[in-house]
Amino acid sequence: LKAELDTVYRDSVPSFITVKKWAVEFKRGRTSLTVDGHSGQQMILDDCRIKIREIAEADSHGIVFIDYLKKGKTITEVHIGHYVSLIDKLKVEITNKMAAFEEVLFQDNAPSHTSTVAMAKIYELQFELIDHSPYSLDLIPSDIFCFLGSKFDSENRDFHRTSTRISRIEKNIHIVNCLLEVDHQLIPATTTRILLNHFKWDKEKLMERFYDGDQEKLFAEARVINPFRKGPLISRSRSSQSSLVNPKRPTNGTEECGICFMILPSSMMTGLECGHRFCTGCWGEYLTTKIMEEGVGQTIACAAHACDILVDDASVMRLVKDSKVKLKYQHLITNSFVECNRLLRWCPSPDCNNAIKVQYVEARPVTCKCGHIFCFHCGENWHDPVKCHLLRKWIKKCDDDSETSNWIAANTKECPKCNVTIEKDGGCNHMVCKNQNCKTEFCWVCLGPWEPHGSSWYNCNRYDEEEAKVARDAQEKSRSALQRYLFYCNRYMNHMQSLKFESKLYASVKEKMEEMQQHNMSWIEVQFLKKAVDILCSCRQTLMYTYVFAYYVKKNNQSVIFEDNQKDLESATECLSEYLERDITSENLADIKQKVQDKYRYCDSRRKVLLEHVHEGYEKEWWDYKE
């Protein structure tokens, strides 16, 4: 494996020991590349030729500066000062050579790089760093790209500011702009943004359509004026007819606004490429209404009647004066960009404006900077072991009236005449419909008219065995389905409620930890409480979704094993919860600590066993589902 890595990456890192360590980890079943940390020891390459080759390779990728520590050189204040001065030079070089690109500083955690002086200079120049594990596929140079103001980790990428997301959009527009040209003329960036939005930000599809020869049709479908047009301007209309735009302008330098009908100086009038001109005040009011009240951003049409040409971004930012409206417009544009990009998803947490970017789409947990963990595929809270499509069915089932219908079918009957639903609240089988327009008297047992029953007030002598069996079977089926749903729903809701309560344990645990530290215990010694609460909440969340899985899965031998694992985890989780709710004093601290540590380790191991069994079932197709 070491030889293969050296061949592929053309260098001698990582070392054989590192490769052996990670190979052992992966063979043991580890899948995550994230680790708690590493020593940060600087790696010195023996062969200077390797350095030269790497510098040449970096230069071909646009990397303008690499800082190497010479072999055997001790890091001193002089070296740190030299590194800080090089960072200043780096900023100048980037400005001169790569002005069209965003900036990223990628460095390891060598002392000279992470010193207080160096970090102060990095923040002063507005560089931001990539957090990474010591050996991660995320560190392949060709895969690393980020934008000023963004935050990264090795699992996902958070676009945590509107300016950062706008930067991401501008980069896409710049890339496409460099590829779309006619007779060496580039398409305006604002037009490119509208075209990209029309194709849901699919650059390949846009370029394919652009070069198929029918560019006029492309621009017409995207509702923009062809920037390469020749001849008179034809205004596109939402009606079936088009009209030649040739606005009449008075010779005295004034024009009439088509919205407010005021005669104003031409300097106060403005318009789009379609030729329709209105005063700047009316344009501002029109755009503000569209953005703030209608929530329209990327598809605002010209203010002229029946003209469907879209207003470009530059015009919006020029005509709108209110900064709040501009910010809302930028948010609407970025929202369209995020929703159209399958590798991006908004964080579903309330009051969070972050968007998460991943390398590939799959059902996996991602963690936002706000702390919320959710499934990237469906956007719900992370729901292992149940799959996304089953969770959607469950949520829909809980939200709609399907179980209300089951209860009605199991506990009520319909009047045989007017079909009003009736609930029996007594033992007598003689029923009278309460509908004032009906008042039909009938038998609860056979639903037939009551008169032929004679004096048989409590026993129906017109009982039809075959009809009654059908009705009884249908009612029993509805009652059984209701009871089964309530069984799983009650346990699902119970763990959800317990999870909410135990999430509040963090506050009380923090108080206990602070109190214990005041009694001569170190910070490390009291961390077992926080660890226990973390595992308790993870177990609660897993148990909550196991009941969704159990509701849909059909019974077989493997489902019996699953239920045993579920029962074992549930019992251990309740025991751990009980331990954490006890009062911890200096007298019982040692005993409680040992019990809590033993129990949370057991809970964590049983949770992993349960999940591994379910995932193995997915791979080997053990599970069949109920409709």
Active site residues: 428
- For residues 602 and 568, the answer to whether their CB atoms sit within 8 Å is no
Give the C-alpha distances (Å, rounded to integers) separating 370 from 70, 165, 233, 346, 562. Answer: 41, 17, 50, 12, 34
How far, in Å, CA of 479 to CA of 459, rounded? Answer: 24
Nearest to 191 by CA among 72, 181, 183: 181
- Bridge partners of 373, per DSSP, are 367
- What angle in degrees, to the nearest 10, is found between the helix axes of 527-552 and 557-581? 150
Give the C-alpha distances (Å, rounded to integers) separating 311 from 196, 219, 288, 321. Answer: 15, 14, 13, 16
The pair of three-digit structure tokens given for residue 200, joined into one six-digit string: 């849901």
Burial of 613 (0-12, 13-18, 19+ CB in 10 A): middle
**114 contacts: CB under 8 Å, gap ≥ 6:** 40
Phi/psi at 147 (5° precision): -130, 150
DSSP reduced 3-state for 158: strand
Give the C-alpha distances (Å, rounded to integers) separating 210 from 193, 263, 406, 569, 616. Answer: 14, 42, 56, 58, 47
Helix extents (H) in 223-312: 280-288
Q: Beta-carbon neighbour count of residue 581 at 10 Å? A: 11
The pair of three-digit structure tokens given for residue 597, joined into one six-digit string: 């540590």
- For residues 121 and 84, the answer to whether their CB atoms sit within 8 Å is yes
Nearest to 604 by CA among 560, 538, 550: 538
- Bridge partners of 186, per DSSP, are 181
- For residues 328 and 291, the answer to whether their CB atoms sit within 8 Å is yes
Cis peptide before 227 (omega within 30 of 0): no
How far, in Å, CA of 447 to CA of 417, rounded? Answer: 10
Burial of 542 (0-12, 13-18, 19+ CB in 10 A): buried
CA dihedral 479, 484, 487, 488 (to 10 degrees): -140
